[in-house]
Structure formats: C-alpha cells, structure tokens
Amino acid sequence: MPEQLIDRPAPKSPSRRDMLKVGLGTGGALFVVFGIPSIAKHFQPDTDTASIVTEAKAETAPFAPNAFIRIDRQGAVTLVMPMAEMGQGVYTSMAMLLAEELEVGLDQVGLEHAPANDALYANPILHIQTTGASTTTRAFWTPLRQAGAMARTLLIAAAAKRWGVDPAVCRARSGVVSAGARRLGYGELVDAAAALPMPDSVALKDPKDFVLIGTPAKRLDTPDKVNGRAEFGIDTKQPGMKVAAIAISPVFGGKPRSVNEDAARAVNGVRQVVRIDEAVAVVADHMGAAKKGLAAAAIQWDDGPNAKVSSADIVRQLEEASKQPGVVARNDGDAASALAGAAHRVDAIYRLPFLSHAAMEPMNCTVHVRKDACDIWVGTQAPTLTQAAAAALTGLSKEAVKVHNHLIGGGFGRRLDIDGNILAIKIAQQVDGPVKVV
C-alpha cells in the first residue's frame, strides 16, 4: 500500500448539528441537503457538491438525500458514487445496496462520479476517499443502505401526511408509495419529503427480505462501455488542449543528462519541451507529434545513485528483509515448538520477478493550471490525494482544485498511487492551457 495511505488520521468527527444531517452507520454517512436541479438518469460527469447545494437552495428544487442520493421530480434516482469503477463491478454492487433499501429497481438508478471530498465520501475503512484493498462493498454496505432507507422513510412519510394515514399502512415498491388503491410516484413526493424533519433512526431490511442483494444482475456500466459512450480519463477533450508524451528515467532516482530540444521542437506540431525532475515531456498539438518529438529529443540519462542496482541486488535485499522481525497480527499456539517436534518438515523458497501493474488504459492525466484554479481530468483510485498534491504544488487551496474523476480502464493498484498525476501537474504548470499527459 502506498506510503500516503499509511497512518492517515480519520476525518474530523461531525458536530451535533452535522449529526442531524448525517446518519452515521459503521463509519459511513448520509448527508442531507434539500433542493437539487433535475439530473439526467444516465452516467454524468462529476459535479462540485458545494455549488450543487448553493444552486439548489436558490431554486428550492427537489429531494436530495445526499451526499449519495438525488431524486428529481420525474422520480429519477442518481447515486453519487463515492468509489471508482475500474472493472471490478462496484457501480452495480453499490447501486444495488442503495436500490434495495430505497425500493427502486436497479434499472431506475443512474450514477455519477462523486467530487473529491474526504468529509463526505471517505472510505470508512481506509479513512480517505480511496478505492482499494477490496474494501468498497464492506465499507459502504451500511452507509448506502442507510442512505436508501432514509430517503424511503421520508418519501413514505410525505405520502402518509398527504393522505392523512399512518405511515405503517403505506408501502414503497419500484419507486412508488401506495396505501390501498392510492399511489404516488417518488417524483410526486420529493418536494413534500424535502420539507419533513429527519427521522432519528431508520430500520434496515432483514436480509431474508432482500430482493436485489444476492441476486444476479446485469452490470450498469456495460452498455455504455459497449456502445462507446463511456468516458475514461484518456477520452477527455478540453478546448485548446495540448497532448504531452513523457519519458521517465528508467532507473529510480535518475535524471535527464542531455536533451536535444531543438530537434524536438523542429517536429511539426510540437509546441514545447518541458523538463521536470526525473522526466522530459514533449507538448504538441496531437499525440503523433508529441511522440515523434520525444524520439527526436534523443534523451541521455544520468542513472544516479541506483545505476548499478540489479535484479539480484533487489532479491538479496528482500531476502535480508525477510529475516528481520515482522509485524505480529496474531500469535496463536507455539509454532517454533511444533516445527521442532515435527516428524517431517518441508522448507521451500518461492521467488517471483517484478510484476508490472500494467493497466489496459494507458496511464494519463489532463491538467489545466490557472492562477486561481486547477482542473484535473483523470481516472484515479485516490481523488483526494490527487487534489491535495495539486494544492501543495500550485499553492492553491484544495477547494480551488477540482478533480473530475472518470471510469478507469484497469487499475490493479497502479492508479492507487498518484505519481503520474504529480508529473502531469508539474508539466501543466509550464503549459498555457490544458494538457493531456499520456
């Protein structure tokens, strides 16, 4: 696990006032703000939470049990997805948790990426907004079910109040509240539900009553991935955007010794050559020119202090490290005595070569740095780490850094680290306008 994820403190506990807005489960939260403009049902680009709230309050529009849910006057449900989808299927499993308690069909839930915000979307197990360690379902099992149950409870209460009946006689199913022959769709109830006080607690379903959880389901992200509508980080297109090809020192700790910048700039379409730390980037109008310019740069590397390090050296370091005392998670029985008294003992050493965390979608990050703001378009497992790094590098506040997260074309842990995003930010600081670094 990257160093940034170790010993990181949990987010600040909410105040009692916040607790009236936030239903806390096993480490999770349901933030309730009312009044959101109509949201389209299908996948949307991420939206900044603060601006949503401001705009919504001004319009006194529909129901937003948020940070996770919005329901518009047409009854369209949007799950603001806190974790990243990289092929592991969490867009479907998380929607299933919400839909189960909200009493809507899985096909009635649209999704959009959440903004970078640890306060609202931190993974309760990892304490930051990070998708990793196979924790998503465990982390959001309770919070998303609570979010759905809270919204369902308020919608039922709104219908019961309109009809003058006890909420206990009302039933929610497939986005409709009914009592006898009377029926109201969720969209017809959002304004009334938004005006009701928050319940002190909500009851979650008994697992024996589940109708979605535990059943086979078609993945929600598949159709758009098949028809080409799905947008990954590398698909980003911004007005005036340049493209950068990058060469990074092949040896850890190395730096470029010489770069033929004149030859690189002589390539048609190349705009500039950027040197940063351990890398060289050629910025051009399109990827073809950038790659040709990078080849023409004929970079020579100074391999630095690790120039002589070999695979055998690394294996030897690992062997030495393995002989040192490790962290004890549990200590049951007496293994040393059992091994000493064993009738037969088998010893074996298994070695594996270095395995690259090679994602199908090439690593990429698009950045636009301005005096007062920074926008980042990327597919990342760690949006708030990227946001914090950008703020530190640019001197901007975190609020001025917007991370527009995307579907990820394979992560395998590679997009849990943010080293590539940091390089892209450093390059963008020297480029006028947005630049996509591939």
The domain boundary, picked from 225, 256, 283, lies at: 225
Q: Are residues 109 and 246 in the same domain?
A: no
Question: Do 215 and 242 share a domain, yes or no?
Answer: no
Beta-carbon neighbour count of residue 253 at 10 Å?
A: 13
Residues 386 and 428 in one domain: yes
Same domain, 294 and 365: yes
pLDDT computed for residue 351 by the predictor: 84
Are 178 and 245 found together in one domain? no
Residue 173, strand partner residues = 176
**Could you tell me if 113 and 257 lie in one domain?**
no
Crossing angle (nearest 10°) for helices 419-428 and 383-394: 40
Residue 254 inside a domain? The answer is yes
- 410 and 267, same domain (yes or no): yes
Using alpha carbons, select from 212, 69, 44, 270 the residue that is nearest to residue 154: 69
What confidence score (pLDDT) does residue 349 get?
Answer: 87
What pTM value is reported for the model?
0.82
Among 162, 194, 225, the domain-final residue is 225
Neighbours of 175 (CB within 10 A): 20
Domain boundary among 186, 208, 225: 225
Domain range for residue 426?
Answer: 233-305+358-437
Q: What is the CATH number of the domain that holds 252?
A: 3.30.365.10
Residues of the chain with pLDDT under 50: 1-61
- The sign of the torsion formed by the CA atoms of 259, 262, 265, 266 equals negative
Domain presence at residue 61: yes
Number of domains in the chain: 2
The answer to whether 68 touches 98, Cβ cutoff 8 Å, is: yes
Q: What is the 3-state secondary structure (H, E, C) of the chain?
A: CCHHHCCCCCCCCCCHHHHHHECCCCCCCCEECCCCCCCCCCCECCCCHHHHHHHHHHHCCCECECCCEEECCCCCEEEEECCCCCCCCHHHHHHHHHHHHHCCCHHHEEEEECCCCHHHHCCCCCCCCCCCCCCHHHHHHHHHHHHHHHHHHHHHHHHHHHHCCCHHHCEEECCEEEECCEEEEHHHHHHHHHCCCCCCCCCCCCHHHCCCCCCCCCCCCHHHHHHCCCCEHHHCCCCCCEEEEEEECCCCCCEEEECCHHHHHCCCCEEEEEEECCEEEEEECCHHHHHHHHHHCCCEEECHHHCCCCHHHHHHHHHHHHCCCCCCCCCCCCHHHHHHCCCCCCCCCCCCCCCCCCCCCCCCEEEEECCCCEEEEECCCCHHHHHHHHHHHHCCCHHHEEEEECECCCCCCCCCCCHHHHHHHHHHCCCCCCEEEC
Q: Are 399 and 372 in contact (CB under 8 A)?
A: no
Domain identity same for 213 and 248: no
Residue 112 is assigned to a structural domain of this protein: yes
| Burial label, 300 (beta-carbon count in 10 A; 0-12, 13-18, 19+) | exposed
Query: What residues contact residue 59 under an 8 Å CB cut-off, 6+ apart?
Result: 35, 37
The verdict on 248 and 218 lying in the same domain is no
Establish how many alpha carbons lie within 13 A of residue 149's alpha carbon, considering only the half-sphere containing its beta carbon.
Answer: 20
C-alpha span between 22 and 11 (Å, rounded): 14
- Using an 8 Å Cβ cutoff, are 20 and 46 in contact? no
Under a CB-based contact definition with an 8 Å cutoff, are residues 426 and 276 in contact? yes
Same-domain check for residues 283 and 205: no
Both 157 and 301 in a single domain? no
Let me know the angle formed at the C-alpha of 360 by 359 and 363, rounded to the nearest 5 degrees.
55
Same domain, 146 and 54: yes
What are the CA-CA distances from residue 362 to residues 66, 287, 408 (Å)? 33, 13, 10
Q: Is residue 92 part of a domain?
A: yes
